[in-house]
Every structure is written in C-alpha cells, then in structure tokens.
Amino acid sequence: MTGRMMMLLPLALALVGCGPMAAPITPRLDEKEQAQVDQIWTNILTPPNRLDHDMLIDVLLMYPVYQVGVDKLHMTAEQKIAGGTALIEVNCFRATLEKDTFSVTLIDANGVARRRESYTRKEIEARMEALTKKALPTPVDENGQRQETPEQKRRREWIDQRYKDIAAATQPAAAK
C-alpha cells in the first residue's frame, strides 16, 4: 500500500464511523474528498486485474469507497418481526442529492404494506444535527456549577429527554 493511500485511511474511516454506514444515508463529500475517492477507484481497477481477489477485498474493507462517494448507492435490508417484515431501503445519488431517500416499510404476513415512512436527505441531516448538536459550551463557576443560559439548559434537557425517549422506543410497546 502506498504512503499516499495510507494517508487516506483516516479519511475513509472517519467518513463511515462504526459498521457499514454511520447514518441511513451516505455522507456528502467536498471536491477534494470526492477526488480522493475517484482516484482510489481508478487506482484499484487500473489495469482491471491489477489487484488479485484477496487484495481487492482487503482494500475495500480498509477503504469503504463502495458506500462513500459512489455515483449511486441502492441498499435494501429486511428484518423479520412479529407479524411481518420491516423493509429498509437506502437510495443515494451523488449528482442529485435532493433525490436521496431512506425508507422503512412494514409489510404484514400477507404481503400488504401496512406502513411506509420515507425520509429525504434534508430531513435526515436535520434530525442528525438535532440529535447530535450539543448545547453551546457553558462556563463553570468556582463551585463547578454550569452557568448556562435558559436556551442552553432547554437544549440540553431536550437532548437528554429525547435520548431517553429513543431508548424507550426500542422496548416492547406498553399495553393499552
């Protein structure tokens, strides 16, 4: 592996976080990052048989350019649940980001779609920002107490409660 490719490893890993995708939609790259991804693809496939079977998969495991910076990504996942199947779809288009979608469809045991929620890139990015943007740093007084503004306190409390609500949503529904 060249020194140049080794320098790109932190970029590749930073873009994806843990697991195959860090979010239900691919990250946008700036021009320089996109040029690096394009060059990696050119380098690993020129000439076509440059890398053997094992080296090709090793490179793609270390540099996840199969999901970051690609022209088009379509991914479908299914999860069996009580009474049906959750169908998850991701569609990303580098040239037309406004067409990017993430959807979840609940299909019952008879194959009938019972619920479908679809999200645009804009919606996902806004929700990710809302859930991850912490309150502005707050000064601490001589007793170690936060000196936050009412807005900072409201934001912190909202995030704390939202995280609890999200965790609760992963538990069985309460009987009504």
Residues with Cβ within 8 Å of residue 27, at least 6 apart in sequence:
15, 68
pLDDT at 156: 84
Across residues 90-96, what is the average pLDDT? 93
The 3-class SS string of 17-80 reads: CCCCCCCCCCCCCCHHHHHHHHHHHHHHHCCCCCCCHHHHHHHHHHCCCCCCCCCEEEEEEEEE
* Stated pTM of the model: 0.72
Q: The tokens of 85 are what?
A: 């199947």
pLDDT at 137: 66
Instruction: Write the CA distances from 4 to 7, 38, 55, 56, 172, integer angstroms.
Output: 5, 14, 17, 17, 49
Q: Model confidence over 113-150: pLDDT tens digits?
A: 999 999 999 999 888 888 877 655 677 888 888 788 88
- Whether 71 and 65 have beta carbons less than 8 Å apart is answered as no
Q: Is the pLDDT of residue 158 over 60?
A: yes
**pLDDT bucket at 18, cuts 50 / 70 / 90:** very low
Block residue for tokens 């970029």: 11
Q: Model confidence over 28-78: pLDDT tens digits?
A: 899 999 999 999 999 999 999 999 999 999 999 898 888 888 999 999 999
